[in-house]
Structure 1
Amino acid sequence: MTNEPDVQDFAEKSVDMWHRGSAWILGPLMIGLVAVILATASDYANKLNSLLFQSFFFAPVIILPLGFVLLAYVSRRYFPGAQGSGIPQTIAAISDADDKKTSHLLSIRIMIGKIMLTIGGLAVGASIGREGPTVQIGASIMHMFYGRGPFQGADQRRILLLAGGAAGIAAAFNTPLAGIMFAIEELSKNHIFNANSSALVTVIVSGLIPLALLGNYTYFGSSAANLEWDSGMSTILICGLVGGVAGGTFSRMLIRVSFDTTSRLAGFISRRPFVFAALCGLGVALLGLATDHLVFGTGYQPTKALLEDSGDLPWYFGIAKLLATLLSSMSGIPGGIFAPSLAVGAGVGDNLAALLPASYAPHSAIVLLTMAAYLSGVTRAPVTAFIIMMEMTDSHHMLLPLMAASVVASGVSKLISPTPLYHALSQKFLPQR
């Protein structure tokens, strides 16, 4: 005679296993696949933008303002919650103690909007990246599994979102270690990250999909930059100091614009958001014309050229890219700041290399250190910054210098902008209770 409680218990365990398997296997597969689609589409969008702007010199003055207005309108009207990077939204969702399944920040609808609008932003020439959006996309995919089977309660939701966000970074940059550190250092700053086997598998599987489809690659290729730890200490300190000041200044300006409610500019943005978006687009267009289109898009090509010592950039590239990224972020259109921040750091590093005596350090080493320092200054996540740079450039021999420059930059940035950028911006998305 069949024991009904045993059968019921077996059925419940089977259902739980099915839900766990689908979340921890199907979820990361989807994240990796979507990351590859977004990366490939972003490359085509950058090429389209480059071809169009090279064919018609004044095209940016028309396309960028109109494009920013369209992207801002579509985002606010049809995909509210998709604006900006996507990392603040993910942090806000993780920090929300409510165990109800809400979809205003993380959902398939948001994911679709984020993909389309990020590609659109790159196509019109906005100074944005796809890495932050991939974090929100990864968290949205894992959020699908919340409320099913064993995934109940705020703690389980937090685990899913942390794993999804970390997998997004790993898949976007092909840097699995940086993805794990990003979850620990940035996404779970206010919570304990449980690096269990399921979360690690999510990051690893998501990173394997781009590897399988795009081949084994490093984002910026392999850098031969080298710097002795003892003799290069002064260079490390200078790069960390300059990168921290520049990154902290960017962070403070973006936070100020996002939360200032008393100035004339804040009033103008509130009353005329689309006019402000058009003005931001015009500003990016003028910066692009002044730099021969160098500030448009992610900044991947000029950054790679600087790391390889195969290209000369104008001295004002770093500051122009910083301003273009600030305007793009202020405008309210979707798009990340990771890749543009690396380009800004490369430009500032190029300036430093020109100012420092040749005996201090090789040009590519100074650029590499300043990139890590600037990213650390912007995000205040020094471990993530130096690991990303190490994995993206295959610069394991630069581990200690990159680590030191990132830590110095984070400390300097804290003096300028006390609250970390993403966590400050996440306050805008937290539910008001």
Structure 2
Amino acid sequence: MKPLTRRRARAMLRLHGPQSMIFRRRVAIGSGAIAIGLMALLFAASADWVSGQFGHLRHTYPYVPLALTPIGFVVIAYVTKQVVPLARGSGIPQVIAAKSGASAAAGALVSMKTALMKALLTLAALLCGGSIGREGPTVQLAAAVMAQCHRLMRIPMRSSMYIAGGAAGVAAAFNTPLAGIAFAIEELAAAYEQRVTLLVMTAILISGMVSQGVAGDYIYFGVTGSALSIRSALLVAPMAGALGGLTGGCFSRLLLSATRATGRLGAQIRASPLLTAGVCGALVAALGVTTGLTWGTGYDPARAMIEGRDVPLWFGFAKFGATLATAVAGLPGGIFSPSLSTGAGFGNMLRFMFPGEPASAVVLLGMVAYFTGVVRAPLTAVVIIAETTVSRGLMMPMLAAALIANQTSQFVCRDKLYEALARTFTQRGEG
């Protein structure tokens, strides 16, 4: 070991001291990760509160949503288009587009103005009964927080830090650090296009630990502990994978057809966005008033099905329609939670085909398969469900169902949903 001379000490201070690039980058990443964890918890609490307010309203006045939802959809679509067009939709495509750096608006995609407006508009959509989730907006908001911390520390933002911020948002939103890492590798990093470094994983874990430290080690969907025998898994997993892949692929194909301007449907929707929002809002309202189950994230019906309680067999199709209509309307909001709820509905259908199997296990396989069919991220789907239900005994059947769903979905929709939506931002420059 070399002796520590004054000259060497000065050199080390320049390289690692408080004014050095390395030190400031570490401070930006660490403070960003902590802020993301706290922000995700605040956003989750706000989303739960506004969802509760809408629930109270519709129970008191059951038919008010028939007017509130369509009008609300039109107002939110108008504000989004006129004020923050980059805030529309999930939020994950924006982070993918910003990470690629191909768009002139890459910085605006994850600016604090865009992210904060997206959060407010997502809450407004939940207050109107939109079938959306908060996880996608959390990803965009988290990437914006990470970018802001880098700007404050005067550090250039690397592509890997967009990945770190977005994946840390997933970890904090679901209270699942491992799922955040899987999401970073599988979705945001685009099949190892970017190297996921130790600093990226550190940011994800810090954000997850902050979320757990403040909110406690809660389990998102509750502890199931269910399992399947090998014989049962060989029957149920392929069936769930095929059904989830077909239905999830249909969702992606329909959404892409409606949101891209290359086809006739997409051109018509783009030409009349407010009319589209109103029609979609009316459809969501009709489904919600008729069923009473398709509003919001769908968390409560999903948990009920996981716990083996009876939910109508048509729920999966109804939630599918409500989520698709909300997404086509162009409202800011994610599809993570609604997709998990829809998948639980399709798994609930399979539960009656396999009455001798544990209900929760069959429902979970349906969730994994449908979610994979939509986003084509089998590893992320398996890890999220395993962590949010503590169903480690189902890891292998879930992985089998996810892989089958991933392949089946490609027969219906060749494009990966988030990557295709990200191209709409990079190609238009604004989104």
User: TM-score, normalised to structure 1's length?
Assistant: 0.92
Partner residue in 2 for 1:32: 37
**1:149 shift after superposition:** 6.8
Choose which of 310, 313, 331 in structure 1 pairs with 2:311: 313
What is the distance in 2 between the residues matched to 1:168 and 1:157?
17
Partner residue in 1 for 2:423: 427
Q: Which runs of 5+ in 2 are unaligned?
A: 1-5
Partner residue in 2 for 1:299: 298
CA offsets per residue over residues 304-357 of structure 1, 9 Å max, x none? 011011x32122111010000000000011000000001101111111111x14
Which has the higher mean CA deviation after the structures are superposed, 403-412 or 74-83? 74-83
**1:47 shift after superposition:** 0.5
2:51 matched to 1:53?
no
Partner residue in 1 for 2:287: 287
Choose which of 117, 128, 140 in structure 1 pairs with 2:132: 128
2:248 matched to 1:251?
no
2:113 matched to 1:109?
yes
CA offsets per residue over residues 343-400 of structure 1, 9 Å max, x none? 101111111111x1423x2221110101000000000000100111000000011110
What is the distance in 1 between the residues matched to 2:225 and 2:8?
65
Distance 1:432 1:329, change over 3 A: closer
Partner residue in 2 for 1:342: 340
CA contact under 8 A between 1:220 and 1:392: conserved in structure 2?
Answer: yes
CA contact under 8 A between 1:143 and 1:157: conserved in structure 2?
Answer: no
Q: Which runs of 5+ in 1 are unaligned?
A: none
User: TM-score, normalised to structure 2's length?
Assistant: 0.93
Query: Number of paired residues?
Result: 423
What is the distance in 2 between the residues matched to 1:148 and 1:228?
54
2:159 matched to 1:158?
yes
Equivalent position SS for 1:81: helix
- Give the share of equivalent positions with the same residue, in percent: 39
CA offsets per residue over residues 55-91 of structure 1, 9 Å max, x none? 1121111110111111111112222211000001111
The 5 A counterparts of 1:8-407 are 10-11=13-14, 13-14=16-17, 15=19, 16-97=21-102, 102-146=106-150, 151-152=155-156, 157-189=158-190, 191-263=192-264, 265-292=265-292, 294-309=293-308, 311-354=309-352, 356-359=353-356, 361-407=357-403
CA contact under 8 A between 1:146 and 1:160: conserved in structure 2?
Answer: no
CA contact under 8 A between 2:25 and 2:150: conserved in structure 1?
Answer: no
What is the distance in 2 between the residues matched to 1:77 and 1:204?
37
What is the distance in 1 between the residues matched to 2:92 and 2:341?
19
User: Partner letter of residue 105 of structure 1?
Assistant: L
CA contact under 8 A between 2:261 and 2:270: conserved in structure 1?
Answer: no
Distance 1:149 1:56, change over 3 A: closer
CA contact under 8 A between 2:288 and 2:294: conserved in structure 1?
Answer: yes
CA offsets per residue over residues 214-246 of structure 1, 9 Å max, x none? 111110010132102344201111011111111
Equivalent position SS for 1:232: helix
CA contact under 8 A between 1:151 and 1:157: conserved in structure 2?
Answer: no
Choose which of 411, 418, 432 in structure 1 pairs with 2:407: 411
**1:163 shift after superposition:** 0.5
Which has the higher mean CA deviation after the structures are superposed, 270-279 or 186-195? 186-195
Distance 1:383 1:27, change over 3 A: same
CA contact under 8 A between 1:114 and 1:133: conserved in structure 2?
Answer: yes
What is the distance in 1 between the residues matched to 2:215 and 2:153?
34
Distance 1:148 1:191, change over 3 A: farther
